[in-house]
Chains A and B, each alone.
Chain A
Amino acid sequence: MSISYISEILPSLFQGAGLTLQLFFWTLIGSLPLGLIVSLGLTSKIRPIRWILDLYVWLMRGTPLLLQLIFVFYGLPLIGVVFQRYDAAVFAFILNYGAYFAEIFRGGLQSIDNGQYESASVLRLSYWQTVRKIVIPQVVKIVLPSVGNEVINLVKDSSLVYVIGLGDLLRAGNVATSRDVSLVPLLLVGVIYLLLVGICTYILHKVEQRYSYYK
């Protein structure tokens, strides 16, 4: 394991890590709002909405993400919906993580005391004002640890995109390992994942601290 070998393969690993990070960010940007909207629907009083969303959550949590990736990239073209590889990956990840976030947010929403809604109602706040100013800020604090778990899972789940031929961090390591018959690239891949997760953990911790101003 020489320094020169490491510096030789690092650029390709970083390139792979770049794709991993892009996928990570776009998935979060898409799935967090999606999860929030779905969770409001899951707690809605309108039954058909709940049925449809329950079905969505069941599908997404009931099948492997790997399978979903394959269906989005290879299956949807059969009915005329064609995605580029990268877009297919982002789409499948947003749908999948949206379902998990929705369930986490639903738990958070249900733990808000009914008195909070009643207070807001007698102060004549509208539904959306109540959601925005009273409910979401409190839900965020409650769900942060669970969301953090999913965020960290996402860093590593992103490696599944190899199945539709995308070159992420793990694939870059795999390519180098089979070419050079050495485990060093995969070792480095492990270190890079650890660093990424370490940074996520640090940021999540800071966000939790920000929300610790009240009990």
Chain B
Amino acid sequence: MLEIKNLKKSFGSRVILDNVNVTVKDREVLSIVGPSGAGKTTLLRCITGLEKADSGEFLIDGNPFDPQATDTSESVIGVVFQDFNLFPHLSVFDNIILAPTMVLKQSKKEALEDAKKLLEQLGLVGKGDLYPYQLSGGQKQRVAIARALAMKPKILCYDEPTSALDPNLRKEVEKLILGLKQDGMTQLVVTHDMDFAQNIADDILEVSSLDKLNQGTD
């Protein structure tokens, strides 16, 4: 379970997030929704360590952790970016095994076996030797998911997973997220799309505007 307590973040004198509390229960999907500019992405960036929160507590299974720490052996958060941010010069396999081999010090063989399993799980069999430019948007997203999962995170976060894709792929993304949920993954999804959020989420957190954050009913 991920808990964030009293998160505060401002840029200069502009307070973006104040007294934000987030709870993501194990094996559940939490959606963070709200209009653009409300601070959804900033919230996600604080959770993933891309921005430093001004103050606040981060707990995973009750233990505090620092989202910006890079030296821990365990990964807490995996991220799927809006534009996927795959490494264009690396094949799908190399995109997936780079961090496990370099950071987790897995052997290449072991990492490749894991990567093959992930490709199978995500319906990407046979795509391992392709480069990102040879993939469709939906395939790129699934590679980004595989790359994040290869680090064995406790929580997988998505930033606007539907916005870079063809609208008719929305159902596919829903299936993907619900499928991962069934496999036991805890997920946090930032989206501006309320329908999408309702279809996937166990819980919805609405970020309406400045310091007016209320966690939705359980």
- Interface residues of chain A, those whose CB is within 8 Å of chain B, are 113, 115-116, 118-119, 121-126, 129, 133-134, 137-138, 141, 213-215
Among B75, B77, B85, B131, contact of A119 (Cβ-Cβ < 8 Å):
B85
Chain A residues with CB below 8 A from B151, complex form: 123-124
Chain B residues with CB below 8 A from A113, complex form: 85
Q: 7 pairs across A/B with beta carbons < 8 Å?
A: A115-B83, A118-B50, A119-B79, A119-B86, A121-B50, A123-B98, A125-B98
Residue of B nearest to A129 (CB): B102
Among A119, A125, A134, A213, find the residue whose CB has the most chain B CB atoms closer than 10 A. Answer: A119
Chain B residues with CB below 8 A from A129, complex form: 102-103
User: Is B88 an interface residue, CB under 8 A from the partner?
Assistant: yes
User: Is B81 an interface residue, CB under 8 A from the partner?
Assistant: yes
User: Do B88 and A214 touch (CB < 8 A)?
Assistant: yes
Given A124-B75, A141-B89: A214 touches B102 (CB 8 Å cut-off) = no
Residues 24-80 of B at the A interface (beta carbon under 8 Å) = 48-50, 70, 75, 77-79
User: Do B132 and A122 touch (CB < 8 A)?
Assistant: no
Residue of B nearest to A214 (CB): B131
User: Is B99 an interface residue, CB under 8 A from the partner?
Assistant: yes
User: Do A214 and B103 touch (CB < 8 A)?
Assistant: no
- Could you tell me the distance in whole angstroms from the C-beta of A42 to the nearest C-beta in chain B? 23
- Could you tell me the distance in whole angstroms from the C-beta of A60 to the nearest C-beta in chain B? 30
Chain A residues with CB below 8 A from B99, complex form: 123-125
3 A-B pairs closest in CB distance: A123-B99, A115-B85, A119-B85
Chain B residues with CB below 8 A from A126, complex form: 70
- Interface residues of chain B, those whose CB is within 8 Å of chain A, are 48-50, 70, 75, 77-79, 81, 83, 85-89, 98-99, 102-103, 131-133, 147-148, 151
Q: Is the interface of B mostly helix, strand, loop or mixed?
A: loop
Residue of B nearest to A138 (CB): B89
Among A122, A125, A134, find the residue whose CB has the most chain B CB atoms closer than 10 A. Answer: A122
User: Do B147 and A121 touch (CB < 8 A)?
Assistant: no
> In whole angstroms, what is the CA distance A34 to B147 when docked?
34
Could you list 8 further interchain pairs (A-B, Cβ under 8 angstroms) beyond the known A115-B85, A123-B147, A125-B99? A118-B50, A119-B79, A125-B98, A125-B103, A126-B70, A133-B102, A134-B87, A213-B131
Chain B residues with CB below 8 A from A138, complex form: 88-89
User: Do A125 and B89 touch (CB < 8 A)?
Assistant: no
Chain A residues with CB below 8 A from B49, complex form: 121-122
> In whole angstroms, what is the CA distance A134 to B147 when docked?
14
Among A116, A133, A141, A214, contact of B85 (Cβ-Cβ < 8 Å):
A116
- Could you tell me the distance in whole angstroms from the C-beta of B106 to the nearest C-beta in chain A? 13
> In whole angstroms, what is the CA distance A183 to B147 when docked?
65
Residue of B nearest to A133 (CB): B98
Among A113, A126, A133, A137, find the residue whose CB has the most chain B CB atoms closer than 10 A. Answer: A133
> In whole angstroms, what is the CA distance A30 to B86 when docked?
33
Chain B residues with CB below 8 A from A134, complex form: 87
Among A118, A125, A213, contact of B81 (Cβ-Cβ < 8 Å):
A118
Chain B residues with CB below 8 A from A124, complex form: 70, 75, 99, 103, 151
> In whole angstroms, what is the CA distance A192 to B94 when docked?
44
Chain A residues with CB below 8 A from B103, complex form: 123-125, 129
User: Do A215 and B133 touch (CB < 8 A)?
Assistant: yes
> In whole angstroms, what is the CA distance A138 to B90 when docked?
10
Chain B residues with CB below 8 A from A214, complex form: 88-89, 131-133
Residue of B nearest to A211 (CB): B89
Residue of A nearest to B98 (CB): A133
> In whole angstroms, what is the CA distance A116 to B95 when docked?
12
> In whole angstroms, what is the CA distance A108 to B111 when docked?
31
User: Do B77 and A122 touch (CB < 8 A)?
Assistant: yes
